[in-house]
Amino acid sequence: MEFFYDINRPKPKEKSYGKLAVQQRMRLAMAFLNPLRPVIAESWLSQGKGSKKKAFGQALKKLMEDALEGEYPDQRVVPERVTISTGMLPALRIDDVVHSQQAIEVYFSSVDNPMARSNDEVVLIVYSPEGGVAGRNTHSCSRSEGYIKVELPPQLWAAPFHGYLFVRNATKKQYSKSLYIGYFTPVG
């Protein structure tokens, strides 16, 4: 018999199937997005009404709604459907992708649109959720250049990774919806 129990602490009981499924969805979504937190804090900032925490929460919600498939306990994230950034800016058209051992290059073009400015900044993200390693272009690249290159972190030279591309305006306040470039396996 338990003499000293805390009346405020609920009795442990077996969790329901639905609860376990939701918890797994949350865990999967969090594990996928957490390494991208610095980017998401900026690219979803407008959705978070200026709060980085809320911005991340919105991205998490979107991932759980759109990019999870399967039934518990075999649920998984579908990287193609993950939205790294969101916004009104017109996205780019991908013309070609060249993947070498230590770098990835993307050739793109822009559609004619009154909202598309030539000085919009292009951001290319490479990300391995398994290794928790991500990288992005460290030099500035604009919409009019038509070409962007990212040097891969050494951890991605021999590991598969996903690529995402998006555009933001010069003041970094407006963003485009991110484009999924593809899943890249090690070269050579």
Site residues for other proteins per CB under 8 A = 4-7, 34-39, 125, 132-138, 150-151, 153-155
Of 89 and 126, which has the nearer Cβ to other proteins? 126
Smallest distance, Å, CB 18 to other proteins? 28
The phi-psi region of residue 83 (left if phi > 0; otherwise alpha if psi is between -120 and 50; otherwise beta) is beta
Separation CA 150–CA 167 (nearest Å): 15
Separation CA 150–CA 100 (nearest Å): 11
Of 6 and 112, which has the nearer Cβ to other proteins? 6
Of 110 and 128, which has the nearer Cβ to other proteins? 128
Smallest distance, Å, CB 110 to other proteins? 23
Smallest distance, Å, CB 37 to other proteins? 8
Look up residue 110 and give its two tokens: 């822009």
Of 7 and 111, which has the nearer Cβ to other proteins? 7
Separation CA 153–CA 169 (nearest Å): 26
Say which DSSP state 80 is in: G
Backbone angles phi, psi at 61, to 5 degrees: -60, -45
Of 38 and 186, which has the nearer Cβ to other proteins? 38
Helix 17-33 crosses helix 52-66 at what angle (to 10 degrees)?
120
Cβ-in-10-Å burial (0-12, 13-18, 19+) of 126 comes to buried
Q: Roughly how many angstroms between the first and final C-alpha of the chain, as a whole number?
A: 66
Smallest distance, Å, CB 49 to other proteins? 24
Smallest distance, Å, CB 144 to other proteins? 22
Of 102 and 144, which has the nearer Cβ to other proteins? 102
Smallest distance, Å, CB 7 to other proteins? 5
